[in-house]
Amino acid sequence: MAVASDKLIEIVRGAVEPLGYELVGVEYLSQGRGGSLLRIYIDHENGIGVDDCAKVSHQVSGVLDVEDPIQENYSLEVSSPGLDRPLFFENDFVRFAGHRVSVRLRTKLHDRRRYEGVLKGVQDGNVLVVVDGEEAVLPLDLIDKARLVPEF
């Protein structure tokens, strides 16, 4: 997951939250010569629809035009987090303790990069996940991508 810079996240947060939406996360994906993709995930207690995404997109676009934190061409995408909600921030791993998660690390830890299990929470900068009955201790700064795993 290409998490955006702290500065970009704060600019986006300042545009999203006054509208009454929760900023779930921001991804910035460089796509070579064709420009980049700025993907913003938002949520609301009443859910997210197309009109919500359009409203936030319009607001964020205006703020980014003024602040100009991105020096290259980019596309802006605003969406709901979906059932497989991405987890970006430390408080996400606390909030969704007890849920099933899938975690991919930037580098191998104990000969593996992918972990799937039940999220226990965060302790001392580590995400705790129970995988096959064993607790995996995953350093937060090694996490490349983490998502909830929907259970049906």
| Structural domain includes residue 144 | yes
Residue for token pair 């969406």 = 79
Give the span between the Cα atoms of 146 and 88, in whole angstroms.
7
Q: Is the pLDDT of residue 31 over 80?
A: no
What CATH number did the domain enclosing 119 receive?
2.30.30.100
Q: Which domain holds residue 33?
A: 6-79
Please tell me the predicted confidence (pLDDT) of residue 4: 72
This model's pTM is above 0.95: no
The alpha carbon torsion through 151, 3, 94, 152 (nearest 10 deg) reads 0
For residue 70, give both structure tokens. Answer: 């991105």
| Structural domain includes residue 85 | no
Is 135 within 8 Å of 128 (Cβ atoms)? yes
For residue 15, give both structure tokens. Answer: 């545009």
Model confidence over 71-115: pLDDT tens digits? 888 999 999 999 999 999 999 999 999 999 999 999 999 999 999
